[in-house]
Structure 1
Amino acid sequence: MTLFGYARVSTSEQDLRIQETALRAAGCQTIRSEKKSGSERGARTELQVLLDFLRKGDTLVVTRIDRLARSMKDLQDIVHELKGKGIALKATEQPIDTSTAAGKAFLDMLGVFAEFETNLRRERQLEGIEAAKARGVYRGGKPRIDPDAVRKLIAEGMKPAHIARQLNISRGTVYKFLARPDTVTAGDTQVYFPEGPKAPISI
């Protein structure tokens, strides 16, 4: 089993030496370090070099998992990639070691708590929306299309696929708009009426 260390700080003013010293003490002969924000996976080039280099049976060592990832989703993606290649993950300052049952269980617990927090946040958001609706102050999300622009192009006889390309929206969005109950079909063309359906008209 070969140990490979990864150290990261977020800004150029921060010092990597404390992490690097801890990783060497843990037995890492090779250490990749970088001064990068953890918010974007693609920006962490040294981490990607290390992930590409690691082989089955190796162990990736960090001091803390927040040095490896800045979100639970990011961490889960990395752990999934490591697991698929037969690589273990270990943290020197936390009880995380996926080569052991206890260390793997601790990491799994972090995922459970993160999912619980996400669900709780979503539930609170829905409760807030319902409360706002009850008070009559909820206006919903920002519209993704310009109804007037769609109506104009429909009246000109433009097909949904062409409308989608011209307005830079998906065809599905256009079809949903055309399927609304306040849209009237006239031959091959559909016309939108804000007040609701009226008698068919000719275009």
Structure 2
Amino acid sequence: MSKVGYARVSTLDQSLEVQLQKLRDHGCDKIFSDIASGSDTRRQGLKDLIAYLRTEDMLVVTRVDRIARSVLDLQQLVRDLKASGITLSAIEQPVSTDSASGKAFLDMLAVFAEFELNIRRERQMEGIAAAKVAGKYKGRKPLSDKIKDEVQTLYKNRYTISAIARKLSISRNTVYKLLR
């Protein structure tokens, strides 16, 4: 059995080093990491980790919110790991999926992590609403007619949505909106 670690921080101005050191101290042979939101399930480090894990390995994280931000994501991950004969363990929380009580405690922690995320999101929306009322939050400036015309022209010239977005330095979603 091999211990494989996973560390994640949300932004570039946060440091992975504390988590990495704890995982090394816990005996992890290999460690994968990401700098990305926990709600982003397409994280490259997470994909590489899942591809690397083998039967009887133990996946070690410092806290469960480092690997998943929603109960659904965590439960799906645990189900997939269990089907492959892999256990999940959290260093800072007495959690391991190798027992029924450990799995129940893991699910409770995930509920609280998701609750915390939702509360933070609600506060952010309240702050934005208050800023709008105060006239301090106006959103981004509208695109110029020149950009709008250029999107139409490039699309008629058979440019892909991605190529148009890259060329004009706008998002693909903006291109789709302008083409509607």
TM-score band by shorter chain is 0.5 to 0.7
Structure 2: segments with no counterpart, 5+ residues:
8-15, 37-42
| CA deviation map 1:14-71 (0-9, x unaligned) | 5977423xxxxxxxxxx6245x6553764589956751xx22xx25164xx2188835
For 2:149, give the aligned amino acid: R
Q: Does 1:111 align with 2:103?
A: no
> 1: CA distance between counterparts of 2:156 and 2:110?
46
Higher relative contact order structure (alpha carbons within 8 Å, sequence separation ≥ 6): 2
Q: Which has the larger radius of gyration?
A: 1
SS at match of 1:109: helix
Equivalent residues of 1:97, 1:103 under 8 A apart? yes
SS at match of 1:72: coil
Give the alignment of 1:51-90 within 5 angstroms.
51=53, 54-55=54-55, 58=56, 60=58, 62=60, 65-66=61-62, 70-73=66-69, 76=74, 78-90=77-89
Q: 2:95 aligns to what?
A: 96
> 2: CA distance between counterparts of 1:17 and 1:166?
45
For residue 104 of structure 1, report the CA deviation from its aligned partner.
0.4
| CA deviation map 1:156-185 (0-9, x unaligned) | 696285484434367763453355xxxxxx
Q: 2:26 aligns to what?
A: 19
> 2: CA distance between counterparts of 1:109 and 1:94?
11
Per the normalisation by structure 2, the TM-score is 0.59
Q: 1:177 aligns to what?
A: 178
User: Number of residues paired by the alignment?
Assistant: 157
- Check 1:78–1:66 CA distance in 2 against 1; reply closer, same or farther (3 A cut): farther
Equivalent of 1:32, from 16, 29, 34?
29
Choose between structure 1 and 2: higher helix proportion.
2
RMSD: 4.3
For 2:110, give the aligned amino acid: G
For 1:131, give the aligned amino acid: A
Equivalent residues of 1:61, 1:92 under 8 A apart? no
Per the normalisation by structure 1, the TM-score is 0.54
- Of 170-179 and 110-119, deviating more is 170-179
For residue 127 of structure 1, report the CA deviation from its aligned partner.
0.7
> 2: CA distance between counterparts of 1:122 and 1:163?
34
> 2: CA distance between counterparts of 1:158 and 1:44?
36
For residue 113 of structure 1, report the CA deviation from its aligned partner.
1.0
Equivalent residues of 2:95, 2:106 under 8 A apart? yes
> 1: CA distance between counterparts of 2:124 and 2:100?
36
Percent identity between the two aligned chains: 39
> 1: CA distance between counterparts of 2:29 and 2:177?
50
For residue 103 of structure 1, report the CA deviation from its aligned partner.
0.3
Equivalent residues of 1:96, 1:106 under 8 A apart? yes
Q: 2:2 aligns to what?
A: 4
Q: Does 1:125 align with 2:124?
A: yes
> 2: CA distance between counterparts of 1:170 and 1:139?
19
For 1:115, give the aligned amino acid: E
Q: 2:156 aligns to what?
A: 159
